[in-house]
């Protein structure tokens, strides 16, 4: 009988402990790994911070411009299923972010500066003609919900950015 009372007391304590473990704002504590799923939208810093823990993805609405859609999760070696995905290496991102294989979530007619690590984007002014440093300024001319490199113009300074999943192709032109 005493054993049953202990079991009941332990079972009643679990929900109380779980409720007491949450962080006040619902965000994980610094250093805690976020859990992401394929299809989640995330925001990632456009530049590489000195502290890899600062290069952390945060879940956001898919309407945030720019953001990324998690297209896949890297395998045990840290490799994405396709080289087309944007991917932050483990030496510049926290472990949960380094596992993400990302597809940019961009808007047609908007301009973005490609930052470092390669492929990380930041919203930019298309008319800005200032020295932007090592980044490249590109304009998304079309956003297509298919993976088709041939759907974009084959002109000098125009490029196709195809992604496998979610199927998406961006037609871009280099502004400067």
Tell me if 152 is assigned to some domain.
Answer: yes
Tell me if 6 is assigned to some domain.
Answer: no
The DSSP secondary-structure symbol of 46 reads S
Which helix H or strand E contains 41, and what residues bound it? Answer: strand 41-43
Tell me if 116 is assigned to some domain.
Answer: yes
The string of pLDDT tens digits covering residues 60-100 is 999 999 999 999 999 989 899 999 999 888 887 888 899 99
27 close to 57: Cβ distance less than 8 angstroms:
no
The string of pLDDT tens digits covering residues 5-63 is 332 333 233 233 333 333 333 444 444 456 899 999 999 876 655 555 567 889 999 99
pTM metric for this prediction? 0.75
List Cα–Cα distances, 169 to 15, 25, 147, 159, in angstroms: 46, 36, 5, 10
**Total structural domains in the chain?**
1
Tell me if 24 is assigned to some domain.
Answer: no
3 close to 9: Cβ distance less than 8 angstroms:
no
Q: How far apart are CA 8 and CA 56, in angstroms?
A: 40
Tell me if 5 is assigned to some domain.
Answer: no
Residue with tokens 């974009």: 152
Please give the residue range of the domain that contains residue 71. Answer: 33-174
Tell me if 130 is assigned to some domain.
Answer: yes
Tell me if 140 is assigned to some domain.
Answer: yes
Cα dihedral 8, 12, 14, 19, rounded to 10, equals 180
Tell me if 51 is assigned to some domain.
Answer: yes
């Amino acid at each position: 009988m005493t054993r049953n009372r202990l079991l009941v007391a332990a079972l009643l304590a679990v929900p109380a402990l779980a409720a007491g473990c949450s962080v006040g704002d619902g965000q994980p504590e610094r250093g805690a790994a976020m859990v992401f799923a394929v299809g989640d939208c995330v925001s990632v810093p456009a530049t590489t911070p000195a502290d890899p823990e600062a290069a952390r993805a945060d879940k956001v609405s898919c309407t945030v411009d720019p953001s990324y859609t998690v297209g896949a999760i890297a395998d045990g070696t840290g490799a994405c299923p396709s080289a087309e995905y944007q991917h932050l290496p483990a030496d510049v991102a926290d472990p949960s972010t380094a596992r993400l294989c990302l597809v940019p979530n961009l808007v047609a007619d908007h301009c973005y500066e490609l930052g470092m690590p390669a492929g990380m984007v930041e919203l930019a002014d298309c008319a800005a003609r200032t020295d932007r440093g090592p980044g490249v300024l590109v304009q998304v001319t079309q956003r297509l919900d298919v993976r088709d490199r041939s759907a974009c113009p084959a002109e000098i300074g125009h490029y196709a950015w195809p992604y496998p999943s979610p199927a998406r192709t961006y037609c871009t032109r280099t502004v400067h």
